[in-house]
Amino acid sequence: MNEPYDIITTIRLTEKATILAEKDNKYVFQVRPHATKTQIRRAIETLYKKTVVSVNTANYAGKKKRERTAAFGQQADWKKAIVTLKKGDKIELA
Amino acid sequence: MNVVVENLPNCITTLRIELEPEKVNKAWEAVTADYTRYAKLPGYRPGKAPKAVIEKKFKKQIREELEKKLLSDSCREAISEKKLRVLSLAQIDDVELADDKTMKFTATLVTHPDFELPTYKGLTVEMKSTDVTEAEIDESLENLREQAADFTNITEERGAAMDDYVVVDYTGTIEGKPVHEAFPKAGKPLSGNEDFWIRMTPEAFFPGYAAALVGAKPGETRTFVIDVPEEFPVAGMGGQKIQYVVKLKEIKMKVLPMLDDAFADTVAKGKTLAELRTMAREELARQKKTDAEASKRSAIMTQILEKVECELPVDMVRTQTRRILADIVRENQERGIDDEVLKENEQQILGKASEGAREQLKGTFVLLRIAEAEGIQVTKLEFSHRINQLSQRYQMKPAKLLKELEKRNAIDQITEEILTAKTLEFLASNATVADAPVETPAAE
């Protein structure tokens, strides 16, 4: 469960993430909600072979969703990780 | 741009074109920029997605767009650079877009045939005289009389004679069966008819048919047997014996109107015979002039085409042959010739059509080359004039016709038609005319 590919769900490709990457060399990932900063750092360093300077995280509660019927549902909770890389290191977005 | 031209047989040319990376890159950037502006991607507002993301997401589409844009453009450029006379772009294949953005592809073109233009100015052609003789006028008036002929029942008491016209009811049987039942392909008129007009000539209907009726009086019924000639077109019928029971109803003779002012008045209201003669003379003169002009043009073409030897694009020959073949078949069907007969002569008709197609195409190519050499061009006025003519013929509004033609890609064809006609006109005006000997017609 603690393999790198279990920790990192996906890289977030959004306008905000693009700007962060271009300006501050920070990359935004969607990660497993229970992953720790240390696990995330190790995962990024193994997967992308880059040096991580710092990891900031934030938890997001899944949105409540309902169909027109009364059946309620919820999207999964997720965690966002903003990873700052060492100056000069780059990850290819896209 | 690096272009390698290779000429293949049958007017096919291949171009191996290699484009420089700068050019491809520029086009690539332009296409990507277009996508960046309008593409909607989750996480980005339209126009805000980075180039790398767009390129990855729309790689296939961008490549297709780029090919569409570059291939036809660079083909056109290569054609004008190499000064090729192109009929159509057959296909583009082997498209390679390398990572360093060099692009290679092969274009296959159908080109105009290559040949040396023979001398086409100052040709001498023989032309029939366009003078109208009195005998010809007499003949044309005689034809008018024939057309206005009246058929009246004979007054004297006599039987039918050769050259009379007889009206008969008849039935034809082979061994007791109606002819069309014994031979389904024979056609019903062989089995029987009512109020049928026959001119009493030895060959009328079947050889011997009229002879068997000689001496018969109105109301008389005659029974006789006819031997079907061996060369009769319906298979198996040659040599058969048909028994005909013929009831002669009327004997008629042809009465030609008198050639006088009254007759002239019936032909053209209010004209006298003298005026009718003048009209006939004018009409004949006009006809002869048109014929002479046409034969002059065809003589010029024959002279030029004799000196030109070239290969022709196979596809075009095939299409043209098909067109001519369809015309021949339609013409024959209109003349009432059975499909069976056409099928039997298939090879001969096909050969004729294919030869005709080759001649026509060769003629067109030669005329286009001459037009090019002489700088003959189609003006806008001539084009719109032609469109007007066509719109009257097809009873369509010119704008609608133009749209229809554009849809069918026929605009070029019409321009080509005008151009060839104009070139032929030019050749005719540059040719010297020699009077043809009276007996031999001008070269066809």
Query: Partners of B97 in the beta sheet?
Result: B103
Say if B288 falls within a structural domain.
Answer: yes
Which of B156-160, B287-291, B435-439 is predicted least confidently?
B435-439
Q: Looking at the structure, do residues B60 and B125 belong to the same domain, yes or no?
A: no
Q: Rounded to whole angstroms, how far apart are CA atoms A35 and B300?
A: 93
Q: Looking at the structure, do residues B107 and B205 belong to the same domain, yes or no?
A: no
Domain interval for residue B213: 150-255
Domain CATH number, residue B78: 3.30.70.1050
Q: pLDDT tens across B221-266, in order? A: 889 888 888 888 777 788 888 888 989 888 888 888 887 888 888 8
Which of A34-48, A75-89, B296-310, B426-440 is predicted least confidently?
B426-440
Kindly give the interhelix angle for B346-374 and B314-334, rounded to the nearest 10 degrees. 120
Q: Rounded to whole angstroms, how far apart are CA atoms B291 and B334?
A: 25
Tell me if chain B has a CB within 8 Å of the CB of A13: yes
- Chain A contact probe: residue of B36, B40, B44, B57 with most A CBs at under 10 A: B44
Say if B355 falls within a structural domain.
Answer: no
Q: Looking at the structure, do residues B155 and B247 belong to the same domain, yes or no?
A: yes
Tell me if chain B has a CB within 8 Å of the CB of A94: yes
How many angstroms away from the CA of A14 is the closest CA of chain B?
4
For B78-137, give the DSSP string.
HHHHHT--EEEEEEEEEEEE-TT--EEEEEEEEEPPP------SS-EEEE---PPPHHHH
Tell me if chain B has a CB within 8 Å of the CB of A10: no
Say if B186 falls within a structural domain.
Answer: yes
Q: Which two tokens stand for residue B374?
A: 């002489």
Q: Is B55 helix (H, G, I), strand (E, B) or coil?
A: helix
Pairwise CB contact (< 8 Å): B53 & A17: no
- Chain A contact probe: residue of B53, B54, B59, B62 with most A CBs at under 10 A: B53
Tell me if chain B has a CB within 8 Å of the CB of A15: yes
Q: Looking at the structure, do residues B71 and B125 belong to the same domain, yes or no?
A: no
What's the pLDDT score for residue B436?
A: 63
What's the pLDDT score for residue A94?
A: 65
Q: Rounded to whole angstroms, how far apart are CA atoms A69 and B281?
A: 96
Q: pLDDT tens across B81-131, in order? A: 888 888 777 788 888 888 788 888 888 888 888 788 888 777 788 777 778
The total number of structural domains that make up chain B: 3
> With contacts defined as CB-CB under 8 Å, which chain A residues touch B56?
94
What's the pLDDT score for residue B440?
A: 45
Q: Looking at the structure, do residues B134 and B58 belong to the same domain, yes or no?
A: no
Q: Looking at the structure, do residues B107 and B130 belong to the same domain, yes or no?
A: no
Is residue B242 within 8 Å of residue B223, measured between CB atoms? no
What's the pLDDT score for residue B229?
A: 85
- pLDDT of B29 > 60? The answer is yes
Pick the CATH number of A4-63+75-85 from 3.40.50.2020, 3.40.50.720, 3.30.1180.10, 3.30.70.330: 3.30.70.330
Listed in sequence order, the residues at least 6 apart from B298 whose beta carbon sits closer than 8 Å to its beta carbon are B443, B444
pLDDT (average), residues B422-434: 83
Say if B330 falls within a structural domain.
Answer: no
What's the pLDDT score for residue B441?
A: 45
Interface predicted TM-score (ipTM) over 0.95: no
What's the pLDDT score for residue B437?
A: 60
How many angstroms away from the CA of A11 is the closest CA of chain B?
12
Task: Output DSSP code: residue B386.
Answer: H
Q: Where are the domains of chain A?
A: 4-63+75-85
Q: pLDDT tens across B310-361, in order? A: 888 888 888 888 888 888 888 888 887 777 777 777 888 888 888 888 888 8
Q: Rounded to whole angstroms, how far apart are CA atoms B206 and B172?
A: 12
Domain CATH number, residue B177: 3.10.50.40
- The mean predicted confidence, pLDDT, of chain B is 84
Which of A85-89, B46-50, B66-70 is predicted least confidently?
B66-70
Q: pLDDT tens across B377-403, in order? A: 888 888 888 888 888 888 888 888 888
Position B442 confidence tier, pLDDT thresholds 50, 70, 90: very low
Higher pLDDT, residue A77 or A66? A77
- Exposure b/e, B319-353, CB count within 10 A at least 16 = b: ebbeebbeebeeebeeeeeeeeeeeeeeeebeeeb
Tell me if chain B has a CB within 8 Å of the CB of A18: yes
Say if B201 falls within a structural domain.
Answer: yes
Pairwise CB contact (< 8 Å): A13 & B43: yes
Please name the residue that has the structure tokens 């029939």.
Answer: B128
Say if B208 falls within a structural domain.
Answer: yes
> With contacts defined as CB-CB under 8 Å, which chain A residues touch B48?
15
Pairwise CB contact (< 8 Å): B57 & A94: yes
Pairwise CB contact (< 8 Å): A12 & B45: no
Higher pLDDT, residue B157 or A18? A18
Is residue B431 within 8 Å of residue B422, measured between CB atoms? no
pLDDT (average), residues B410-430: 86
Q: Rounded to whole angstroms, how far apart are CA atoms B276 and B384?
A: 39
Tell me if chain B has a CB within 8 Å of the CB of A17: yes
Q: Which of B43, B52, B57 sits opposite A15 (nearest CB)?
A: B43
- Chain B contact probe: residue of A11, A15, A23, A80 with most B CBs at under 10 A: A15
Q: How many helices (H) and strands (E) does chain B have?
A: 14, 12
What's the pLDDT score for residue B310?
A: 81
What's the pLDDT score for residue B444?
A: 38
Position A39 confidence tier, pLDDT thresholds 50, 70, 90: very high
Say if B362 falls within a structural domain.
Answer: no
Q: Which of B43, B55, B57 sits opposite A14 (nearest CB)?
A: B43
Tell me if chain B has a CB within 8 Å of the CB of A14: yes
Instruction: Quickly count: other Cβ atoms within 10 Å of residue B18's Cβ.
Output: 14
- Chain B 39-98, residues with CB within 8 Å of chain A CB atoms: 41, 43-45, 48-50, 52-53, 55-57
Pairwise CB contact (< 8 Å): B43 & A12: yes
What's the pLDDT score for residue B270?
A: 80
What percentage of chain B reaches a pLDDT higher than 70? 98
Which of B217-221, B418-422, B436-440 is predicted least confidently?
B436-440
What's the pLDDT score for residue A51?
A: 95
How many angstroms away from the CA of B57 is the closest CA of chain A?
8
Pairwise CB contact (< 8 Å): B50 & A14: no
Higher pLDDT, residue B352 or A82? A82
